[in-house]
A and B are shown apart, each in its own frame.
Chain A
């Protein structure tokens, strides 16, 4: 539901936004008209969805093919114990509506694939990466490039997190840094590695802030610079990333000219 400036309830709900010169009634209206797709309703998607819903983002799309598992609850704060076994997109939708009934929530109880990615992403303005595996991260990066949608990338592992905002064709993309997924078994990626739960909150919330800045067209985005967070040392570091002329996707002579999917699953450092 778009923000209605003459509604007393709406003005009260968003008063702390409206007070900000960077937002105001005009900016809050923009937030209400925005459509944001959150890929993965997990560690990063949870805090991002909670804050974007509270902020009054008019339409939030959620895509995730999993159900809530007991082991998710340590960090996936949008879900609750009673949600175990329920599709994550449904559990997240219920929580979003409890916070802000004005948000329109679209749910896709499926995995993002090369077949559905452009269609789904095409319905939104901004995409937030909250997935837990490399094939999906590359797929999202590529799909956002082809669909020319702004992307806020996030990653977490153990005590380390990372955020990187991508304006396709304008700023460096994920493949400007990482050309392709790592070979299977070399890099710990998901279940087996472990992650400090609160780290997901830090990174997902920074991603949500980037989304709001994109909507408002205010501030300086995390484009062409990668934010690295070391929770062990409580240290943030910024790494400059230039567009790579040899990028296989957005470089001068791209090899990737259509959407394909890397083989799942790179997450092969199995413990079980």
Chain B
């Protein structure tokens, strides 16, 4: 199915948000995940199944400033 991840169209196998993170080798502790403009709770990652056309934003921590 086709989803958008950080603004880029991507074909994914489907499954849950957590599975998509795992496939990308991203630890859930490293990102905040927004699905269709709503921030997901960390415990929702494993229970949220992606649907065709979903817009996913993976927001990484960005701590610098100096």
Contact = CB atoms under 8 A, between A and B. Distances in A.
B37 A131 contact: no
Contact of B65 (A130, A183, A240): A130
A10 interface: no
A169 to B, nearest CB: 18
Contacts of A137: 63, 65
A237 B27 CA distance: 23
A132 B65 contact: yes
A42 B66 CA distance: 4
A178 B32 contact: yes
A72 interface: yes
Instruction: Place the interface of chain B in its size category.
Output: 20 to 34
Contact of B64 (A43, A176, A237, A240): A43
A53 interface: no
A150 B60 CA distance: 23
Instruction: Place the interface of chain A in its size category.
Output: 35 or more
Given A134-B63, A155-B65, A266-B63, A186 B29 contact: yes
A134 B39 CA distance: 19
Contacts of A133: 63
B23 interface: no
B62 A155 contact: yes
B63 A155 contact: yes
A28 interface: no
